[in-house]
Structure 1
Protein backbone atom coordinates (compact mmCIF):
# COMPACT_ATOMS: atom_id res chain seq x y z
CA UNK A 1 0.00 0.00 0.00
CA UNK A 2 1.24 3.46 -0.78
CA UNK A 3 0.70 6.33 1.62
CA UNK A 4 -2.45 8.07 0.47
CA UNK A 5 -5.58 9.85 1.60
CA UNK A 6 -8.87 7.99 1.82
CA UNK A 7 -12.17 9.85 1.64
CA UNK A 8 -15.41 8.41 3.03
CA UNK A 9 -18.69 10.07 2.07
CA UNK A 10 -21.78 10.05 4.28
CA UNK A 11 -24.63 11.23 2.09
CA UNK A 12 -28.39 11.14 1.68
CA UNK A 13 -29.62 9.35 -1.47
CA UNK A 14 -33.17 9.32 -2.81
CA UNK A 15 -34.64 6.48 -4.86
CA UNK A 16 -36.87 9.10 -6.49
CA UNK A 17 -34.07 11.44 -7.55
CA UNK A 18 -31.23 9.44 -9.07
CA UNK A 19 -30.13 12.42 -11.13
CA UNK A 20 -29.80 14.41 -7.92
CA UNK A 21 -27.83 11.55 -6.36
CA UNK A 22 -25.42 11.61 -9.28
CA UNK A 23 -24.97 15.38 -9.16
CA UNK A 24 -24.29 15.22 -5.42
CA UNK A 25 -21.72 12.46 -5.89
CA UNK A 26 -19.97 14.43 -8.61
CA UNK A 27 -19.72 17.39 -6.21
CA UNK A 28 -18.37 15.18 -3.42
CA UNK A 29 -15.83 13.60 -5.75
CA UNK A 30 -14.54 17.04 -6.70
CA UNK A 31 -14.28 17.94 -3.01
CA UNK A 32 -12.36 14.74 -2.32
CA UNK A 33 -9.96 15.40 -5.18
CA UNK A 34 -9.40 18.98 -3.97
CA UNK A 35 -8.60 17.57 -0.51
CA UNK A 36 -5.89 15.39 -2.03
CA UNK A 37 -7.73 12.08 -1.74
CA UNK A 38 -6.66 9.16 -3.93
CA UNK A 39 -9.59 6.90 -2.95
CA UNK A 40 -13.24 7.82 -2.37
CA UNK A 41 -15.96 5.48 -1.10
CA UNK A 42 -19.70 6.16 -1.20
CA UNK A 43 -22.28 4.20 0.84
CA UNK A 44 -24.27 1.14 -0.16
CA UNK A 45 -26.86 1.97 -2.81
CA UNK A 46 -25.81 5.63 -2.96
CA UNK A 47 -26.23 6.06 -6.71
CA UNK A 48 -29.70 4.54 -7.03
CA UNK A 49 -30.99 5.00 -3.53
CA UNK A 50 -31.42 1.93 -1.31
CA UNK A 51 -34.59 -0.16 -1.22
CA UNK A 52 -35.41 -3.84 -0.78
CA UNK A 53 -38.96 -4.58 -1.95
CA UNK A 54 -38.72 -1.93 -4.70
CA UNK A 55 -35.13 -2.72 -5.67
CA UNK A 56 -36.07 -3.92 -9.15
CA UNK A 57 -37.86 -0.64 -9.84
CA UNK A 58 -34.81 1.50 -9.07
CA UNK A 59 -31.96 -0.76 -10.20
CA UNK A 60 -29.57 0.35 -12.96
CA UNK A 61 -27.46 -1.52 -15.47
CA UNK A 62 -23.72 -1.27 -14.96
CA UNK A 63 -23.57 0.27 -18.43
CA UNK A 64 -26.23 2.88 -17.68
CA UNK A 65 -25.44 6.55 -18.17
CA UNK A 66 -25.01 7.31 -14.42
CA UNK A 67 -22.52 4.45 -13.99
CA UNK A 68 -20.53 5.52 -17.04
CA UNK A 69 -20.58 9.13 -15.80
CA UNK A 70 -18.95 8.07 -12.52
CA UNK A 71 -16.33 6.11 -14.45
CA UNK A 72 -15.58 9.16 -16.59
CA UNK A 73 -15.33 11.30 -13.46
CA UNK A 74 -12.75 8.92 -11.96
CA UNK A 75 -10.62 9.36 -15.08
CA UNK A 76 -11.09 13.13 -15.09
CA UNK A 77 -10.10 13.58 -11.43
CA UNK A 78 -7.48 10.85 -11.22
CA UNK A 79 -9.50 9.44 -8.33
CA UNK A 80 -10.37 5.86 -7.43
CA UNK A 81 -14.13 5.88 -6.76
CA UNK A 82 -16.16 3.11 -5.13
CA UNK A 83 -19.89 3.67 -5.55
CA UNK A 84 -22.82 1.58 -4.37
CA UNK A 85 -25.91 0.88 -6.44
CA UNK A 86 -28.79 -1.51 -6.96
CA UNK A 87 -27.65 -3.35 -10.08
CA UNK A 88 -29.94 -4.84 -12.72
CA UNK A 89 -27.95 -7.69 -14.28
CA UNK A 90 -28.39 -8.75 -17.92
CA UNK A 91 -30.26 -11.88 -16.79
CA UNK A 92 -32.78 -9.77 -14.88
CA UNK A 93 -31.52 -10.44 -11.37
CA UNK A 94 -30.93 -7.53 -8.98
CA UNK A 95 -27.77 -7.28 -6.90
CA UNK A 96 -26.42 -4.86 -4.32
CA UNK A 97 -23.20 -3.88 -6.05
CA UNK A 98 -20.19 -1.74 -5.29
CA UNK A 99 -18.58 -0.48 -8.49
CA UNK A 100 -14.89 0.43 -8.34
CA UNK A 101 -13.85 2.95 -11.00
CA UNK A 102 -10.11 3.33 -11.52
CA UNK A 103 -8.51 6.46 -12.98
CA UNK A 104 -7.23 4.41 -15.93
CA UNK A 105 -10.81 3.70 -17.01
CA UNK A 106 -10.98 0.12 -15.74
CA UNK A 107 -14.09 -0.77 -13.76
CA UNK A 108 -14.42 -3.65 -11.32
CA UNK A 109 -17.41 -4.86 -9.32
CA UNK A 110 -18.31 -6.59 -6.07
CA UNK A 111 -21.78 -8.00 -5.52
CA UNK A 112 -22.86 -8.28 -1.88
CA UNK A 113 -22.59 -11.92 -0.84
CA UNK A 114 -24.42 -11.97 2.50
CA UNK A 115 -27.94 -10.55 2.44
CA UNK A 116 -29.80 -9.11 5.41
CA UNK A 117 -33.16 -10.57 6.33
CA UNK A 118 -35.17 -7.89 4.53
CA UNK A 119 -33.06 -8.21 1.37
CA UNK A 120 -33.52 -11.94 0.83
CA UNK A 121 -36.35 -12.63 -1.60
CA UNK A 122 -35.95 -9.31 -3.39
CA UNK A 123 -32.24 -9.30 -4.15
CA UNK A 124 -29.77 -11.95 -5.36
CA UNK A 125 -26.53 -12.72 -3.53
CA UNK A 126 -23.14 -12.51 -5.19
CA UNK A 127 -20.88 -15.56 -5.20
CA UNK A 128 -17.33 -14.15 -5.33
CA UNK A 129 -14.95 -12.41 -2.90
CA UNK A 130 -12.56 -10.58 -5.22
CA UNK A 131 -9.76 -8.22 -4.32
CA UNK A 132 -8.73 -5.39 -6.58
CA UNK A 133 -5.24 -4.30 -7.55
CA UNK A 134 -4.93 -0.51 -7.64
CA UNK A 135 -2.11 2.00 -7.81
CA UNK A 136 -2.57 2.59 -4.08
CA UNK A 137 -2.64 -1.06 -3.03
CA UNK A 138 -4.93 -4.07 -2.84
CA UNK A 139 -8.55 -3.31 -1.94
CA UNK A 140 -11.32 -5.63 -0.80
CA UNK A 141 -14.99 -4.89 -0.17
CA UNK A 142 -17.53 -5.97 2.44
CA UNK A 143 -20.97 -4.42 2.12
CA UNK A 144 -22.99 -3.80 5.29
CA UNK A 145 -24.25 -7.22 6.52
CA UNK A 146 -21.13 -8.85 5.01
CA UNK A 147 -19.09 -7.37 7.84
CA UNK A 148 -20.78 -9.64 10.39
CA UNK A 149 -18.94 -12.65 8.92
CA UNK A 150 -15.36 -12.87 10.23
CA UNK A 151 -14.30 -15.35 7.54
CA UNK A 152 -15.18 -12.89 4.79
CA UNK A 153 -12.71 -10.21 5.88
CA UNK A 154 -10.13 -12.89 6.71
CA UNK A 155 -10.47 -14.26 3.17
CA UNK A 156 -9.95 -10.80 1.70
CA UNK A 157 -6.86 -10.29 3.86
CA UNK A 158 -5.39 -13.65 2.86
CA UNK A 159 -5.95 -12.69 -0.78
CA UNK A 160 -3.79 -9.62 -0.18
CA UNK A 161 -6.29 -6.90 0.74
CA UNK A 162 -4.71 -4.07 2.72
CA UNK A 163 -7.75 -1.82 2.75
CA UNK A 164 -11.31 -3.12 3.06
CA UNK A 165 -14.05 -0.68 2.07
CA UNK A 166 -17.28 -1.28 3.99
CA UNK A 167 -20.22 0.78 2.68
CA UNK A 168 -23.49 0.56 4.64
CA UNK A 169 -27.20 1.28 4.29
CA UNK A 170 -27.98 0.71 7.97
CA UNK A 171 -31.36 1.93 9.22
CA UNK A 172 -31.88 4.81 11.60
CA UNK A 173 -30.45 3.75 14.95
CA UNK A 174 -29.29 5.93 17.83
CA UNK A 175 -26.85 3.15 18.85
CA UNK A 176 -25.08 2.90 15.48
CA UNK A 177 -21.64 3.70 16.90
CA UNK A 178 -22.09 1.34 19.85
CA UNK A 179 -23.12 -1.47 17.49
CA UNK A 180 -20.19 -0.98 15.14
CA UNK A 181 -17.67 -0.77 17.97
CA UNK A 182 -18.68 -4.24 19.16
CA UNK A 183 -17.27 -6.00 16.11
CA UNK A 184 -15.71 -3.82 13.41
CA UNK A 185 -12.45 -3.10 15.31
CA UNK A 186 -11.92 -6.88 15.52
CA UNK A 187 -12.29 -7.23 11.74
CA UNK A 188 -9.45 -4.76 11.26
CA UNK A 189 -7.25 -6.04 14.11
CA UNK A 190 -7.58 -9.78 13.48
CA UNK A 191 -6.83 -9.39 9.77
CA UNK A 192 -4.37 -6.46 9.86
CA UNK A 193 -6.30 -4.32 7.39
CA UNK A 194 -7.49 -0.76 7.25
CA UNK A 195 -11.29 -0.83 7.39
CA UNK A 196 -13.18 2.19 6.06
CA UNK A 197 -16.92 2.37 6.77
CA UNK A 198 -19.52 4.84 5.52
CA UNK A 199 -23.29 4.77 5.92
CA UNK A 200 -26.20 6.45 4.21
CA UNK A 201 -27.88 9.21 6.21
CA UNK A 202 -31.37 10.69 6.07
CA UNK A 203 -34.30 9.46 3.99
CA UNK A 204 -34.50 7.52 0.72
CA UNK A 205 -37.64 9.31 -0.48
CA UNK A 206 -39.93 6.29 -0.06
CA UNK A 207 -40.07 5.89 3.70
CA UNK A 208 -36.66 4.48 4.56
CA UNK A 209 -34.32 6.30 6.95
CA UNK A 210 -30.62 5.77 7.66
CA UNK A 211 -28.51 6.62 10.67
CA UNK A 212 -25.22 7.78 9.16
CA UNK A 213 -21.85 6.88 10.60
CA UNK A 214 -18.40 7.11 9.07
CA UNK A 215 -15.22 5.68 10.57
CA UNK A 216 -11.76 4.43 9.61
CA UNK A 217 -10.05 1.72 11.67
CA UNK A 218 -6.33 1.00 11.38
CA UNK A 219 -4.73 -2.50 11.32
CA UNK A 220 -4.59 -2.45 15.12
CA UNK A 221 -8.35 -1.90 15.36
CA UNK A 222 -7.92 1.68 16.54
CA UNK A 223 -10.14 4.50 15.32
CA UNK A 224 -8.21 6.81 13.00
CA UNK A 225 -11.11 9.22 12.55
CA UNK A 226 -14.89 9.14 12.80
CA UNK A 227 -18.08 11.14 12.28
CA UNK A 228 -21.41 9.95 13.65
CA UNK A 229 -23.40 13.11 13.06
CA UNK A 230 -26.73 13.08 11.26
CA UNK A 231 -25.38 15.42 8.60
CA UNK A 232 -23.91 14.75 5.19
CA UNK A 233 -20.14 14.87 5.44
CA UNK A 234 -16.86 13.93 3.80
CA UNK A 235 -14.30 12.34 6.12
CA UNK A 236 -10.65 12.14 5.02
CA UNK A 237 -7.67 10.39 6.60
CA UNK A 238 -4.19 9.18 5.73
CA UNK A 239 -3.36 5.52 5.27
CA UNK A 240 0.15 4.48 6.31
CA UNK A 241 2.01 1.68 4.49
CA UNK A 242 4.52 1.62 7.36
CA UNK A 243 1.81 0.47 9.76
CA UNK A 244 0.71 -2.31 7.44
CA UNK A 245 4.29 -3.42 6.94
CA UNK A 246 4.97 -3.48 10.69
CA UNK A 247 1.99 -5.69 11.38
CA UNK A 248 2.31 -8.00 8.40
CA UNK A 249 6.08 -8.40 8.31
CA UNK A 250 6.95 -7.91 11.98
CA UNK A 251 8.41 -10.43 14.40
CA UNK A 252 5.86 -13.27 14.76
CA UNK A 253 6.86 -13.90 18.36
CA UNK A 254 5.77 -10.42 19.37
CA UNK A 255 1.96 -10.41 19.68
CA UNK A 256 1.27 -6.80 18.66
CA UNK A 257 3.12 -7.35 15.39
CA UNK A 258 1.71 -10.72 14.44
CA UNK A 259 -0.24 -11.37 11.23
CA UNK A 260 -2.84 -13.68 12.71
CA UNK A 261 -4.30 -15.20 9.50
CA UNK A 262 -0.91 -16.74 8.70
CA UNK A 263 -1.26 -19.07 11.70
CA UNK A 264 -4.61 -20.58 10.78
CA UNK A 265 -5.12 -24.34 11.25
CA UNK A 266 -7.90 -24.74 8.74
CA UNK A 267 -8.11 -28.54 9.15
CA UNK A 268 -9.56 -27.92 12.61
CA UNK A 269 -12.31 -25.57 11.45
CA UNK A 270 -14.73 -28.17 10.13
Structure 2
Protein backbone atom coordinates (compact mmCIF):
# COMPACT_ATOMS: atom_id res chain seq x y z
CA UNK A 1 0.00 0.00 0.00
CA UNK A 2 1.11 3.58 -0.63
CA UNK A 3 -0.01 6.98 0.53
CA UNK A 4 -1.81 9.54 -1.58
CA UNK A 5 -1.42 13.26 -1.10
CA UNK A 6 -4.61 15.13 -1.99
CA UNK A 7 -6.01 18.64 -1.74
CA UNK A 8 -9.35 20.46 -1.91
CA UNK A 9 -9.52 24.08 -3.04
CA UNK A 10 -11.41 27.11 -1.76
CA UNK A 11 -11.08 29.93 -4.28
CA UNK A 12 -13.10 32.58 -6.16
CA UNK A 13 -14.01 32.25 -9.85
CA UNK A 14 -16.06 34.40 -12.22
CA UNK A 15 -17.08 34.86 -15.86
CA UNK A 16 -13.54 35.72 -17.02
CA UNK A 17 -12.53 32.30 -18.33
CA UNK A 18 -8.92 33.32 -19.02
CA UNK A 19 -8.54 34.59 -15.47
CA UNK A 20 -10.11 31.36 -14.20
CA UNK A 21 -7.58 29.31 -16.15
CA UNK A 22 -4.74 31.45 -14.81
CA UNK A 23 -5.93 30.82 -11.26
CA UNK A 24 -6.36 27.09 -11.92
CA UNK A 25 -2.88 26.88 -13.43
CA UNK A 26 -1.42 28.57 -10.35
CA UNK A 27 -3.34 26.26 -8.00
CA UNK A 28 -2.19 23.17 -9.91
CA UNK A 29 1.43 24.39 -9.78
CA UNK A 30 1.11 25.04 -6.05
CA UNK A 31 -0.41 21.62 -5.44
CA UNK A 32 2.16 19.83 -7.59
CA UNK A 33 5.01 21.53 -5.71
CA UNK A 34 3.51 20.10 -2.50
CA UNK A 35 3.39 16.58 -3.91
CA UNK A 36 -0.39 16.55 -4.44
CA UNK A 37 -1.62 13.89 -6.89
CA UNK A 38 -5.38 14.50 -6.56
CA UNK A 39 -6.72 18.06 -6.64
CA UNK A 40 -10.40 19.04 -6.26
CA UNK A 41 -11.38 22.44 -7.68
CA UNK A 42 -14.80 24.00 -6.92
CA UNK A 43 -18.13 23.83 -8.70
CA UNK A 44 -18.32 26.20 -11.69
CA UNK A 45 -14.63 27.09 -11.53
CA UNK A 46 -14.64 27.36 -15.34
CA UNK A 47 -16.74 30.47 -15.88
CA UNK A 48 -18.20 31.07 -12.44
CA UNK A 49 -21.49 30.05 -10.82
CA UNK A 50 -24.91 31.73 -11.05
CA UNK A 51 -25.04 35.31 -9.82
CA UNK A 52 -28.15 34.52 -7.77
CA UNK A 53 -30.46 31.63 -6.98
CA UNK A 54 -33.70 33.30 -8.08
CA UNK A 55 -33.60 32.17 -11.70
CA UNK A 56 -33.02 35.58 -13.27
CA UNK A 57 -29.28 35.64 -13.83
CA UNK A 58 -27.35 34.68 -16.95
CA UNK A 59 -25.33 31.53 -16.54
CA UNK A 60 -21.66 30.79 -17.19
CA UNK A 61 -20.19 30.00 -20.61
CA UNK A 62 -21.27 26.60 -21.94
CA UNK A 63 -18.36 24.21 -22.61
CA UNK A 64 -18.41 20.88 -24.41
CA UNK A 65 -16.97 17.85 -22.63
CA UNK A 66 -14.86 17.13 -25.71
CA UNK A 67 -14.09 20.81 -26.34
CA UNK A 68 -10.84 22.81 -26.18
CA UNK A 69 -11.36 24.09 -22.63
CA UNK A 70 -11.54 20.61 -21.11
CA UNK A 71 -8.51 19.54 -23.20
CA UNK A 72 -6.70 22.60 -21.86
CA UNK A 73 -7.60 21.60 -18.31
CA UNK A 74 -6.29 18.07 -18.92
CA UNK A 75 -3.02 19.45 -20.26
CA UNK A 76 -2.62 21.58 -17.13
CA UNK A 77 -3.33 18.54 -14.94
CA UNK A 78 -0.55 16.51 -16.54
CA UNK A 79 0.44 13.72 -14.16
CA UNK A 80 -2.11 14.85 -11.56
CA UNK A 81 -5.80 13.91 -11.33
CA UNK A 82 -7.89 17.10 -11.24
CA UNK A 83 -11.64 17.61 -10.82
CA UNK A 84 -13.30 20.87 -11.88
CA UNK A 85 -16.84 22.19 -12.19
CA UNK A 86 -18.18 23.69 -15.42
CA UNK A 87 -21.36 24.37 -17.41
CA UNK A 88 -21.64 21.44 -19.81
CA UNK A 89 -22.96 22.07 -23.31
CA UNK A 90 -24.70 18.83 -24.29
CA UNK A 91 -26.26 20.14 -27.50
CA UNK A 92 -29.83 21.09 -26.70
CA UNK A 93 -29.26 20.98 -22.94
CA UNK A 94 -26.99 22.56 -20.34
CA UNK A 95 -25.85 20.72 -17.23
CA UNK A 96 -24.08 21.80 -14.05
CA UNK A 97 -21.23 19.30 -14.31
CA UNK A 98 -17.90 18.28 -12.83
CA UNK A 99 -15.20 16.65 -14.90
CA UNK A 100 -12.22 14.58 -13.77
CA UNK A 101 -9.14 14.88 -15.97
CA UNK A 102 -5.57 13.64 -16.22
CA UNK A 103 -2.93 14.38 -18.83
CA UNK A 104 -4.31 11.47 -20.83
CA UNK A 105 -7.76 13.10 -21.05
CA UNK A 106 -11.18 12.80 -19.40
CA UNK A 107 -11.52 10.11 -16.72
CA UNK A 108 -15.07 10.83 -15.56
CA UNK A 109 -17.93 13.32 -15.73
CA UNK A 110 -20.90 13.91 -13.39
CA UNK A 111 -24.00 15.99 -14.01
CA UNK A 112 -25.56 17.51 -10.89
CA UNK A 113 -28.67 15.55 -9.97
CA UNK A 114 -30.25 17.60 -7.18
CA UNK A 115 -31.10 21.22 -7.96
CA UNK A 116 -31.71 23.82 -5.24
CA UNK A 117 -34.10 26.75 -5.52
CA UNK A 118 -34.26 27.99 -9.14
CA UNK A 119 -31.14 26.31 -10.50
CA UNK A 120 -33.40 24.32 -12.84
CA UNK A 121 -34.09 27.56 -14.71
CA UNK A 122 -30.54 27.33 -16.08
CA UNK A 123 -29.62 23.64 -16.02
CA UNK A 124 -31.15 20.25 -16.71
CA UNK A 125 -30.72 17.65 -13.97
CA UNK A 126 -28.43 14.65 -14.23
CA UNK A 127 -29.78 11.21 -13.41
CA UNK A 128 -27.03 8.97 -12.05
CA UNK A 129 -24.12 8.49 -9.68
CA UNK A 130 -21.29 6.27 -10.87
CA UNK A 131 -17.76 5.61 -9.60
CA UNK A 132 -14.83 5.26 -12.00
CA UNK A 133 -11.19 4.19 -11.91
CA UNK A 134 -8.32 6.70 -11.98
CA UNK A 135 -4.53 6.55 -11.50
CA UNK A 136 -5.07 7.48 -7.83
CA UNK A 137 -7.87 5.01 -7.04
CA UNK A 138 -11.59 4.59 -7.60
CA UNK A 139 -13.39 7.94 -7.37
CA UNK A 140 -16.94 9.19 -7.16
CA UNK A 141 -18.05 12.78 -7.77
CA UNK A 142 -21.01 14.92 -6.82
CA UNK A 143 -21.92 18.59 -6.84
CA UNK A 144 -22.99 20.78 -3.92
CA UNK A 145 -26.66 20.03 -3.07
CA UNK A 146 -26.14 16.39 -4.10
CA UNK A 147 -24.46 15.80 -0.75
CA UNK A 148 -27.64 16.65 1.16
CA UNK A 149 -29.02 13.30 -0.02
CA UNK A 150 -27.50 10.24 1.71
CA UNK A 151 -28.52 8.01 -1.20
CA UNK A 152 -26.08 9.84 -3.50
CA UNK A 153 -22.93 9.14 -1.52
CA UNK A 154 -24.16 5.65 -0.62
CA UNK A 155 -24.62 4.84 -4.32
CA UNK A 156 -21.03 5.83 -5.00
CA UNK A 157 -19.69 3.85 -2.03
CA UNK A 158 -21.60 0.76 -3.15
CA UNK A 159 -20.08 1.26 -6.60
CA UNK A 160 -16.65 0.93 -5.03
CA UNK A 161 -15.66 4.58 -4.63
CA UNK A 162 -12.76 4.86 -2.19
CA UNK A 163 -12.68 8.66 -2.43
CA UNK A 164 -15.64 10.94 -3.10
CA UNK A 165 -15.01 14.45 -4.37
CA UNK A 166 -17.82 16.94 -3.77
CA UNK A 167 -17.38 20.27 -5.55
CA UNK A 168 -19.55 23.19 -4.47
CA UNK A 169 -20.53 26.82 -4.85
CA UNK A 170 -22.15 26.76 -1.41
CA UNK A 171 -23.17 30.20 -0.13
CA UNK A 172 -23.89 31.51 3.31
CA UNK A 173 -27.48 31.83 4.48
CA UNK A 174 -29.62 34.22 2.46
CA UNK A 175 -31.91 34.92 5.42
CA UNK A 176 -30.68 35.90 8.84
CA UNK A 177 -27.12 35.92 7.48
CA UNK A 178 -24.33 35.93 10.04
CA UNK A 179 -21.84 38.79 9.88
CA UNK A 180 -19.16 36.25 10.82
CA UNK A 181 -19.19 33.41 8.26
CA UNK A 182 -17.80 31.00 10.85
CA UNK A 183 -21.16 31.32 12.65
CA UNK A 184 -23.31 31.02 9.53
CA UNK A 185 -25.96 28.29 9.67
CA UNK A 186 -25.47 27.25 6.04
CA UNK A 187 -21.75 26.83 6.73
CA UNK A 188 -22.61 24.55 9.66
CA UNK A 189 -24.81 22.46 7.36
CA UNK A 190 -22.04 22.34 4.76
CA UNK A 191 -19.61 20.96 7.34
CA UNK A 192 -22.11 18.52 8.83
CA UNK A 193 -22.94 17.02 5.44
CA UNK A 194 -19.22 16.58 4.66
CA UNK A 195 -18.55 14.74 7.91
CA UNK A 196 -21.72 12.65 7.87
CA UNK A 197 -21.28 11.44 4.28
CA UNK A 198 -17.68 10.38 4.98
CA UNK A 199 -18.56 8.62 8.23
CA UNK A 200 -21.70 6.78 7.16
CA UNK A 201 -19.93 5.35 4.11
CA UNK A 202 -16.46 5.08 5.69
CA UNK A 203 -14.77 6.75 2.74
CA UNK A 204 -12.26 9.54 2.19
CA UNK A 205 -14.09 12.77 1.34
CA UNK A 206 -12.75 15.84 -0.48
CA UNK A 207 -14.91 18.96 -0.36
CA UNK A 208 -14.00 21.92 -2.58
CA UNK A 209 -15.94 25.19 -2.56
CA UNK A 210 -15.98 28.66 -3.99
CA UNK A 211 -14.83 31.52 -1.76
CA UNK A 212 -15.42 35.25 -1.81
CA UNK A 213 -18.53 36.76 -3.40
CA UNK A 214 -20.18 36.63 -6.81
CA UNK A 215 -23.40 38.44 -7.67
CA UNK A 216 -25.73 38.13 -4.68
CA UNK A 217 -23.88 35.19 -3.18
CA UNK A 218 -21.26 35.05 -0.45
CA UNK A 219 -19.55 31.66 -0.40
CA UNK A 220 -18.48 29.89 2.81
CA UNK A 221 -15.19 28.42 1.43
CA UNK A 222 -14.47 25.69 4.05
CA UNK A 223 -12.69 23.32 1.67
CA UNK A 224 -11.67 20.22 3.56
CA UNK A 225 -10.46 16.63 3.61
CA UNK A 226 -12.41 14.23 5.85
CA UNK A 227 -11.22 10.78 6.85
CA UNK A 228 -13.40 7.61 6.88
CA UNK A 229 -14.18 8.19 10.55
CA UNK A 230 -15.78 11.56 9.81
CA UNK A 231 -12.89 13.57 11.24
CA UNK A 232 -11.76 16.73 9.45
CA UNK A 233 -8.07 16.25 8.71
CA UNK A 234 -7.47 19.52 6.88
CA UNK A 235 -9.69 22.59 6.43
CA UNK A 236 -9.29 26.05 4.91
CA UNK A 237 -11.90 27.60 7.19
CA UNK A 238 -13.88 30.44 5.61
CA UNK A 239 -10.87 31.65 3.64
CA UNK A 240 -9.36 30.95 0.25
CA UNK A 241 -6.71 28.22 0.28
CA UNK A 242 -5.83 24.55 -0.11
CA UNK A 243 -6.78 21.86 2.38
CA UNK A 244 -4.03 19.24 2.02
CA UNK A 245 -3.86 15.76 3.55
CA UNK A 246 -2.10 12.46 2.93
CA UNK A 247 -3.56 8.97 3.35
CA UNK A 248 -2.87 5.38 2.57
CA UNK A 249 -6.45 5.33 1.32
CA UNK A 250 -7.05 1.58 1.23
CA UNK A 251 -5.51 1.09 4.65
CA UNK A 252 -7.66 3.92 6.04
CA UNK A 253 -10.79 2.28 4.62
CA UNK A 254 -9.82 -1.17 5.89
CA UNK A 255 -9.13 0.20 9.36
CA UNK A 256 -12.44 2.10 9.50
CA UNK A 257 -14.42 -0.94 8.33
CA UNK A 258 -12.58 -3.62 10.30
CA UNK A 259 -15.10 -4.16 13.09
CA UNK A 260 -18.22 -2.25 12.07
CA UNK A 261 -18.55 -1.99 8.31
CA UNK A 262 -21.51 0.18 7.42
CA UNK A 263 -21.66 -1.14 3.86
CA UNK A 264 -21.33 -4.80 4.89
CA UNK A 265 -23.83 -4.54 7.75
CA UNK A 266 -26.64 -2.98 5.72
CA UNK A 267 -30.04 -4.75 5.66
CA UNK A 268 -31.41 -3.75 2.24
CA UNK A 269 -34.48 -5.95 2.62
CA UNK A 270 -35.64 -3.69 5.47
CA UNK A 271 -35.67 -0.59 3.28
CA UNK A 272 -35.67 -1.87 -0.30
CA UNK A 273 -38.67 0.30 -1.26
CA UNK A 274 -37.11 3.51 0.06
CA UNK A 275 -36.08 4.85 -3.35
CA UNK A 276 -39.66 4.56 -4.61
CA UNK A 277 -41.15 6.46 -1.65
CA UNK A 278 -42.57 9.89 -2.41
CA UNK A 279 -43.26 12.50 0.23
Same fold, judged at TM 0.5 (above): yes
Equivalence map 1:56-67=2 (5 Å): 56=59, 58-67=61-70
1:254 paired residue number: none
Distance 2:193 2:24 in 1: 29
Instruction: Tell me the TM-score normalised to structure 2 length.
Output: 0.86
Question: SS where residue 264 of structure 2 aligns?
Answer: helix
Of residues 257, 263, 279 in structure 2, which corresponds to 1:261? Answer: 263
Distance 1:57 1:4 in 2: 33
1:183 paired residue number: 193
**Contact kept in structure 1, 2:99 and 2:106, CA below 8 Å:** no
Instruction: Tell me the TM-score normalised to structure 1 length.
Output: 0.89
1:227 paired residue number: 236
Question: SS where residue 243 of structure 2 aligns?
Answer: strand
CA RMSD of aligned residues (A): 1.8
2:218 paired residue number: 209
Of residues 200, 203, 208 in structure 2, which corresponds to 1:198? Answer: 208
**Contact kept in structure 2, 1:213 and 1:229, CA below 8 Å:** yes
2:276 paired residue number: none
Equivalence map 1:67-82=2 (5 Å): 67-75=70-78, 78-82=79-83
**Contact kept in structure 1, 2:224 and 2:234, CA below 8 Å:** yes
**Contact kept in structure 1, 2:225 and 2:244, CA below 8 Å:** no
Distance 1:57 1:156 in 2: 28
Question: SS where residue 172 of structure 1 aligns?
Answer: coil
**Contact kept in structure 2, 1:74 and 1:105, CA below 8 Å:** no
Equivalence map 1:133-148=2 (5 Å): 133-148=133-148
Distance 2:60 2:237 in 1: 31
Work out the number of aligned pairs and report it. 257
Distance 2:60 2:191 in 1: 34
1:7 deviates by: 1.3
Q: Deviations over 1:57-104 (max 9, x none)?
A: 5222223332211011122xx1101010111112x2111111100233
The answer to whether structure 1 residue 239 and structure 2 residue 247 are counterparts is yes
